[in-house]
Amino acid sequence: MNTFKVSQDHYISHTLVPNRFIDEYLADANDAQIKIYLYLLRMMSSHKATGISDIADIFNYTEQDVTRALRYWEKKHLLSLTYDADKNICGIRIEHLSDPAGTPADSRQAVRAEIISINKNASQEKAPAASSFEKPVYSLDRLSAFQKREDTRQLMFAIQTYIGRPLSQSNVSTILFLSDTLRFSNDLIDYLIQYCVERDKKDFRYIERVAITWAENGITSPKEAARFCAGYDRTVYGIMRALGKTGAPTDRELSYIRKWTGDYGFVSDIIVEACGRTVLATDKHRFEYADGILTSWHKQNVQSKEDISALDQSHRAAQPAAAGASSHSERNKFNQFQQNTYDYGELEKEILSN
């Protein structure tokens, strides 16, 4: 589907709702129409990108509901919509309500919003990270034909049961992407949805990210997915336990774990060692703290626990002789996080200042 970028000339940190909208239009509009118009104003004020499928997911509407609301406001002359050759909305203009009725459109002040294909970047948006797989923009005919297949109807019934709500058109588009582009079998898609739902992740963007990870790792069957997830879960939850955390990791926590295991290439033993030192050093910001340690080790080309021991020895050798005058108990108390190459006080200050 298409993505809107709703913008205006000057950014403000709040959303302005015209008095005329409240006085003349609020009473007659239904909840969906009001929510969608206010949401567009919000996106406009913050220069954030959105689209019909995104709005549908946020408010749990169908994409037809969103389109009807947009056309309702078009009839009320609050929006001007443009369409492409396939009659899909490809442009939106939010009209300035302070202008008197009947003012020619070309002389009105207006805020313009662009609609951009989902696989293109908005002019001032940061490009997303590259992926081996790109989700196409499917036509309504293609989605309709996919949904009419008997095996698809059975699959979507099962997915709706797992998710606990009807599927939006955006959700169906994701399922088609899994089948058509990632070449997942229905059994593998079924396993994927169950895997995510069991972890209390029902957002289709999350499901899509997991699917792409599986595809990039050559997963083609539920059995392969189970083996892959078992190893993945052991690593992730082992790190969580090492940091004294229970439950599923947040997206931010997962991003740290992916960096340590993927970008830095550390094995679990090294990560767990950093986590152990973190737990002894602080009760707060543990992922950030551990990241500081592991980033330092990465810069010093640590590849084994022997390398860590060598760094600790080097650090101890560099300590002033006066440090030896401290009591045995005090040396013991702080030994765990003096035997390294970091200034933990400075590291914590840096973390807390972010």
Q: Render pLDDT for 170-181 as a digit per residue (tens, 0 to 9).
A: 899 999 999 999
Instruction: Return the pLDDT at 262.
Output: 79
Instruction: Give the number of other Cβ atoms within 10 Å of residue 29's Cβ.
Output: 18
pLDDT of 118 = 32
What residue type is 113 in one-letter code?
A
Q: Read off the DSSP letter of residue 336.
A: G
Nearest Cα to Cα of residue 114 among 7, 270, 261 = 7
Contact call for residues 16 and 128 (beta carbons, < 8 A): no
Q: Is residue 164 within 8 Å of 158, Cβ to Cβ?
A: no
CB atoms within 10 A of CB 132: 8
pLDDT of residue 160: 94
Backbone phi, then psi, for 54, in 5-degree steps?
-65, -45
| Residue spans of the chain under pLDDT 50 | 7-12, 99-130, 321-322, 325, 327-329, 331-339, 341
Q: How does DSSP classify residue 249? A: P
Q: What pLDDT does 353 receive?
A: 54
pLDDT on residue 205: 86
The answer to whether 184 touches 178, Cβ cutoff 8 Å, is: yes
Q: Residue 95 belongs to what H/E stretch?
A: strand 89-95
Reduced to 3 states, what is the DSSP secondary structure of residue 129?
coil
Q: Note the pLDDT of residue 13.
A: 58
CA angle at residue 61 from 57 to 66, to 5 degrees?
100
pLDDT of residue 191: 94
- Looking only at Cα atoms, what is the longest distance across the chain? 88
Scanning 25-62, the segments in alpha helix (DSSP H) are 31-46, 52-59
Given a contact cutoff of 8 angstroms between Cβ atoms, the answer to whether 289 and 348 are in contact is yes
Which structural domains are found in the chain, ordered by start?
2-117 (1.10.10), 140-220 (1.10.10), 243-353 (no CATH)
pTM: 0.41
- Sequence-distant (6+) residues with CB within 8 A of 336 are 276, 277, 280, 281
